[in-house]
Amino acid sequence: MASITPNNKKWGRQMVGIFGGAALGWALASLFPGLEQRFGILTILLWSGAIGGILTSLEGFMRAGAALTRRENKVLNLVVGLGIPFLLLVLLYLVSR
């Protein structure tokens, strides 16, 4: 049976980014009550946590983009790597319609 503990050494850094982003989102929602009224606290926490997780794992997105482009251009690799999850979500949306 497979272990649920990942072997990636950057796992802890990603978790810190997720929780740090959620804490920052909570602080922003406390400072700006209109933000919480407009979106809701749970939505703010989830989005800010997701953004924090993405920001701490940009290197992994660059590696994924480099695997597809086979180029050394870091900006191109990052854009392609960040585009992969969005393309998968669009594909899932189109299939589910």
Contact 44, 79 (CB under 8 A): no
Residues 74, 47 within the same domain = no
- The pLDDT, as a whole number, for residue 63 is 93
Q: Is residue 84 part of a domain?
A: yes
Residues 23, 52 within the same domain = yes
- How many Å apart are CA 71 and CA 50, to the nearest integer? 27
Residues 45, 65 within the same domain = no
Residues 52, 67 within the same domain = no
As separate numbers, helices (DSSP H) first and strands (DSSP E) second, the chain gives: 5, 0
Containing domain of residue 37, as a range?
A: 11-56
**Tens of pLDDT, residue by residue, the chain (97 residues):** 445 566 666 788 899 999 999 999 999 999 999 999 999 999 999 999 999 999 999 999 999 999 999 999 999 999 999 999 999 999 999 999 8
Half-sphere exposure of 66 (CA within 13 A, CB side): 10
- The pLDDT, as a whole number, for residue 8 is 64
Residues 52, 32 within the same domain = yes
Of the candidates 58, 47, 49, 51, which has an alpha carbon nearest to the alpha carbon of residue 82? 58
- The pLDDT, as a whole number, for residue 4 is 58
Q: Is residue 5 part of a domain?
A: no
- The pLDDT, as a whole number, for residue 1 is 45
